[in-house]
Amino acid sequence: MWDGPLKGRAWLWEVRDSWVTDEGRARMAESSTLPTGFGELEVLAVGMVLLVEALSGLSLNSLTIFSFCKTPELRTPCHLLVLSLALADSGISLNTLVAATSSLLRRWPYGSDGCQVHGFQGFVTALASICGSAAIAWGRYHHYCTRSQLAWNSAISLVLFVWLSSTFWAAFPLLGWGHYDYEPLGTCCTLDYSKGDRNFTSFLFTMSFFNFAMPLFITITSYRLMEQKLRKSGHLQVNTTLPARMLLLGWGPYAILYLYAVIADVTSISPKLQMV
């Protein structure tokens, strides 16, 4: 006799939980209320850290771009790859600046469409940074380990490939393969890993193979071959393992978090740790 009402009540609870995790999170991000798990001081601290990161990143990468434009000796095909990386990292810093401003405002003021744009722009520049690091590694291998200099048309083609490929992969979440959504703090947007469903899993593994595993392999292999060549000639004056280690340090935590979201319930990780 009570079976129907109980099922109806259970269905209502499921609807309510779904609203809280999806639409509710969006509304909370666009309001001035503090997100669950964060205090006033913690939100302020996140905003200040992001602001320092954004301003320092913009300043240092702008110096690189300015040096390339003003110094004729630096305007070479190999340094064009460095310029591309500086532009990508400047884009990441701009994305971080938006997140910092929203964190200091304690809300996301740009709506759901702004969230999609923010996630897309951040993902494009992040992928361009990772792939750009691999392009620099290959360019240096070509410079030191072959008898021919890197040509301008080769460097330009490589830069275009990096940016077009990054845009290609970052567009998929806008088309339904993957999804951009608010991060736990609700003041910035990124690839949504909270669901861990088949859609996310298939996109993650395909994207990460072409945009993380392959660039990392190219980086490690290029510098290892370069090290062998320079060691034989007695001119090894650079740390050839540092770029690969920095690539892992910079993007490895994201890879671990996304992988954890595939094999386990990511909500078991506290929102504060996810933001870190």
pLDDT in tens, 120-150: 999 999 999 999 999 999 998 888 888 778 8
Cβ neighbours, 10 Å, residue 177: 15
Please tell me what DSSP assigns to residue 181.
E
Domain extents in the chain: 31-275
Which one is the CATH code of 31-275: 3.40.50.10440, 1.20.1070.10, 3.40.50.300, 2.40.110.10?
Answer: 1.20.1070.10
- Euclidean distance between the first and final Cα of the chain, in Å? 51
20 confidence band (pLDDT: 50, 70, 90) = very low
pLDDT in tens, 242-257: 888 999 999 999 889 8
Cβ neighbours, 10 Å, residue 52: 12
- Quote the pTM value: 0.86
For residues 123 and 208, give the distance between their C-alpha atoms in angstroms, rounded to a whole number: 12
Q: Which residues contact 13 (CB under 8 A, 6 or more apart)?
A: none
Calculate the CA dihedral of residues 70, 151, 139, 76 and round it to 10 degrees: -10
pLDDT in tens, 43-68: 889 899 999 999 999 999 999 999 99
Q: Which residues contact 221 (CB under 8 A, 6 or more apart)?
A: none
Which residue type, as a one-letter code, is found at position 103? S
For residues 37 and 183, give the distance between their C-alpha atoms in angstroms, rounded to a whole number: 13
Please tell me what DSSP assigns to residue 212.
I
